[in-house]
Amino acid sequence: METIILVFVAGLITAIATGIGALPFFFIDDFSDRWNVGLWGIASGIMVTVSVFGLIDEGLASASGGFPTMMVGGLLAGVVLVEVGDRVLDRVDIGDDAEHDHDEPTVSDDTKAVQTDGGSHAHDDHALEAKAVAQGNPKTLLLILGILTIHSFPEGVAVGVSFAELGMDGGLPVLGFSIPILAVFMTIAISIHNIPEGTAIAIPMRAMGLSNWRMVGAAIFSSLPQPIGAVIAYAFVSWAHSFLPFGFGFAAGAMVYLVATEFIPEAIETGSDLPNHGYRELAVGFGVGVLAMLPLVTL
């Protein structure tokens, strides 16, 4: 039970980090697109580095000789889950049936247009959540939580799988536990990624006039599936240790695919009005993320 609580707390830390992304709005009315694109780049560089040199490396090491079939299967499964989740989100419209109180913020027509036509999913996800929070309808919020589970569950899985060797020699001693170094890096990496995610979630809420603390709460709410996913993944790989290569592959495949299909498109869309469309800020941020994490995960 103590180890389950520890893994849950690690996942909860990543969720709370999402709320940090909304904190700048306590002090400023707008958030620089250049800064936001750079943060997305840093988060993407960190996630790719930890996935390739951390999760995949561990998956190869845990494969029992020969071609790592199970790990490759996990990679493909992670990609499939993210793609299926995106397709589900494409078909979701929370509609306008929820009851509105007279004092609640008005949702703009742009925010109501939450379905996509094959473009970036990220802004539409944020519009969905912003609309749900503005309405405050319990049924709508429950639907949004289900959608967010599809979106952020793989990140929680990455945290849970990284704790697979909890208690083994060579870990970092914390509160009497020997925590795997990969678990520390993965928790930090997901947390860093969640900061610009929280900012992106808060932007449409700011436009609706929601309070600062409501934006912070909504940002944290968006990542609540992560500690749940972390516990489920950790319990599974601990119970069925032979599936560990699959778990590492699954987390790595989902993370890299998320970077390619969500993080980077989000950054490009955010920087569309910048010189060179923000590609320079994205590239610099990505390089900083790689250089910051690479020496650590290759120790």
Residue range 227-235: mean pLDDT, rounded: 89
**Total tally of structural domains belonging to the chain:** 1
Q: Which residue has the higher pLDDT, 75 or 68?
A: 75
Whether the pLDDT of residue 124 is over 60: the answer is no
Which residues span the domain enclosing 141? 2-297
Residue range 32-41: mean pLDDT, rounded: 83
Whether the pLDDT of residue 101 is over 70: the answer is no
| Residue 172 pLDDT level (bands cut at 50, 70, 90) | confident
Q: Which residue has the higher pLDDT, 9 or 296?
A: 9
Full 3-state SS string of the chain: CHHHHHHHHHHHHHHHHHHHCCHHHHCCCCCCHHHHHHHHHHHHHHHHHHHHHHHHHHHHHHCCCCCCHHHHHHHHHHHHHHHHHHHHHHCCCCCCCCCCCCCCCCCCHHHHCCCCCCCCCHHHHHHHHHHHHHHCCHHHHHHHHHHHHHHHHHHHHHHHHHCCCCCCCCCEEECCEEECHHHHHHHHHHHHHHHHHHHHHHHHHHHHCCCHHHHHHHHHHHCCHHHHHHHHHHHHHHHCHHHHHHHHHHHHHHHHHHHHHHHHHHHHHHCCCCHHHHHHHHHHHHHHHHHHHHHHHCC
Portion of the chain with pLDDT greater than 90, in percent: 6
